[in-house]
Amino acid sequence: MKPKKNPNVEVGRNSGIYFAIGLNVMLLFAYLSMEHKTFETSDVTLEELQLVEEFEEDIPITELNAPPPPPPPPVLAEPETITVVEDAQDIEETVLESTETSQEEKIDEPVVEVQDVQVEEVEEDVSVPFSVVEKVPIYPGCIGATNKELKDCFSKKINDHIIKNFKYPQTALDLGIYGRVIVLFIVDKNGNVTNIKSRGPDKMLEQEAERIIGLLPTMKPGLQRGNPVSVPYSIPINFKIQN
């Protein structure tokens, strides 16, 4: 049986080429349509402007030689009227006398008698160190025949007083503050403890040391040549924290 179609004639043999050509043609038309530009047109009115040269008229400048106005008439000053006042008041002249003296003039000087001079005694606040004073201040209850015994008793009584009235500040104890405080005070000529000063590692310890020294009793004042004198004294106070 013979085939109906001619094998030499095949319709779909070049279909890929035709498809490619047609696709390129369509793409070309699409590109040209996208790139095509149109512009809006409007009617443009063209007007013609004619410039006509203007005629400028020259006006001549005329100078008027008019005479200046006459000056104003001068103002005549009124004559000054002099009034004569009669001087009826008499003025006394002040005569200045010279205060210079001559060598012949004697100057009277007042004579001051010795009995008329009043001598005012000024009490001096003499301060003698504790180590060299002839007689140290006597703490209440101290008895001694020599100055050394009185010094030892004074120092012992001061230490006993500090131990008795010592109180560690609670805030300083909580913060762990400790150290040595040097306290300086003066037993004045009346036996009172005054001028208390201190120096230490912290203000709280200094205040406690000054409080203890401020509780000292009144003593018998120190003597120098039989007269009461002020005697300074210093003592260290140790603040220690024991575990």
CA–CA dist 220, 187 (Å, integer): 9
* Average pLDDT over every residue of 2-24: 72
Q: What is the chain's percent helix, strand, coil content, to nearest 5?
A: 25, 15, 60
Is residue 14 predicted with pLDDT exceeding 80? no
Each residue's pLDDT tens digit, 89-138: 666 666 666 666 666 666 666 666 666 666 666 566 778 888 888 899 99
**Rg from Cα positions in the chain:** 65
Mean pLDDT comparison of 94-98, 124-128, 142-146, 237-241, highest-scoring range: 237-241
Delineate the domains of the chain, giving CATH numbers in brackets. Answer: 147-239 (3.30.2420)
pTM over 0.85: no
Closest CA to 187 of 229, 156, 154: 229
Looking at residues 161-165, what average pLDDT do you find?
92
pLDDT of residue 74: 77
| Residue 76 pLDDT grade (very low, low, confident, very high; cuts 50, 70, 90) | low
pLDDT at 180: 93
Least confident of 20-29, 50-59, 166-175: 50-59
pLDDT digits (tens, 9 = 90+) for 193-219: 999 999 999 999 999 999 999 999 999
Cβ atoms within 10 A of the Cβ of 154, count? 22
Give the model's pLDDT for residue 107. Answer: 64
Of 64 and 18, more confident: 18
Percentage of the chain modeled with pLDDT above 70: 62
Q: What is the pLDDT of residue 230?
A: 92
Write the pLDDT tens digit of every residue in 37-55: 766 666 656 566 565 566 5
Of 139, 146, 128, the C-alpha closest to 191 is: 139
The pLDDT of 165-171, averaged and rounded, is: 90
Segment 60-73 mean pLDDT: 71
Task: Say whether pLDDT at 231 is over 70.
Answer: yes
